[in-house]
């Protein structure tokens, strides 16, 4: 199960290990396990995001540098990268609590800015 309430600090650190540790904490794992992460993405996160993230997926595909359309699971995986994880994690927490503010707009702005 994903830890929606985890407070991320990796952006304030120069140590890449902090990002990796917090990513594993978010997925409630002690060591990296792509199978567990993919199961949580496909069975928990994608269904949670279904209604609110259509615009995010559209934005990612519009600014996509690949010669193919990105599936939702690929978009979510890309949003777990260092550049976007903090913003994506905030979106997840707000959607889970049904208290959405401007986190999705901020994520979209960052996606457009960095492409």
Sign of the dihedral defined by the CA atoms of residues 49, 83, 105, 28, in that order: positive
Q: Measured between alpha carbons, how far apart are the two ends of the chain, in Å?
A: 31
At residue 115, the pLDDT reads 59
Query: Is residue 84 within 8 Å of 103, Cβ to Cβ?
Result: no
Distance separating alpha carbons of residues 13 and 74, to the nearest angstrom? 27
pLDDT interval class at 10 (50, 70, 90)? very high
pTM exceeds cut of 0.85:
yes
pLDDT for position 114: 72
CB 103 within 8 A of CB 91: yes
Identify the H or E element spanning 89: helix 85-96
Tokens of 14: 């120069």
């Amino acid at each position: 199960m994903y830890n929606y309430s985890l407070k991320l600090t990796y952006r304030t650190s120069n140590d890449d290990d902090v990002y990796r540790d917090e990513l594993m904490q978010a997925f409630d794992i002690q060591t990296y396990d792509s199978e567990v992460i993919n199961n949580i993405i496909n069975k928990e996160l994608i269904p949670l995001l279904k209604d609110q993230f259509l615009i995010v997926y559209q934005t990612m595909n519009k600014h996509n540098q690949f010669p193919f359309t990105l599936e939702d699971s690929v978009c979510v995986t890309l949003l777990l990268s260092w550049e976007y994880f903090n913003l994506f994690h905030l979106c997840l927490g707000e959607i889970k609590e049904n208290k959405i503010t401007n986190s999705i707009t901020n994520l979209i702005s960052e996606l457009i800015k960095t492409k």
